[in-house]
Amino acid sequence: MNMSKERLIQSIRTIPNFPIPGILFYDVTTLFKDAECLRLLSDMMYEEYKERGITKVVGIESRGFIMGPVLATRVDAGFITVRKPGKLPAETIQQSYDKEYGTDIIEIHKDALTEDDVVLLHDDLLATGGTMLAAVELVKKFKPKKIYVNFIIELSELKGRELFGNDVEIESILTV
């Protein structure tokens, strides 16, 4: 592992039994508050996607709203939000999904994407993969040219990556 990735991993705060007993929460806000870590993370994401023709970055509520726009500006793409129900003001489409501690629903605006888009979906963490799988299913309804998926952290022992088909490219900046 390179020094930059080691620096980022060492900066992540872990919180046991949050939000419920048995869950080890990886708190990426400690990466965001450190200027060097934020810059390293931004640079690593940019290097991964700078030549992929991304036209829209889709951030998943809420931690996907932090690095998603940063990357979008760097690759000259627009930024789209995927949110919990009732948060988006215009007409939406929904997708329900199971997560490690319950069931939830996410939404995207009906006019958010087109068939001409190359989409990068971004979130902070890949655990069991339910939230991102639902977001990918929402984005697929727009029939974009290509879908990429990016996470800051992947919890490899939970094997969330296995939920996704071969038509989606998944990259994680850090694996723990």
- Asked if 100 is an active-site residue, the reply is yes
Among candidate residues 6, 63, 115, 161, the one labeled active-site is 63
Q: How far apart are the C-alpha atoms of 109 and 64, rounded to whole Å?
A: 16
What beta strand segments (E) does 7-50 contain?
13-16, 24-27
Sheet of strand 146-154, all strands in order from the earlier edge strand to the far edge? 78-82, 56-60, 118-126, 146-154, 168-175
| Angle at alpha carbon of residue 91, lines to 69 and 130, rounded to 5° | 60
Among candidate residues 48, 61, 100, 171, the one labeled active-site is 100
Phi, psi dihedral angles at 173 (to 5 degrees): -65, -45
What beta strand segments (E) does 110-161 contain?
118-126, 146-154
- Asked if 91 is an active-site residue, the reply is no
Region of 76 (left: φ > 0; alpha: ψ -120 to 50; beta: rest) is left
Helices (H) and strands (E) in the chain, counts: 5, 9
Whether the Cβ atoms of residue 141 and residue 20 lie closer than 8 Å to each other: no
**Active-site residue set:** 63, 100
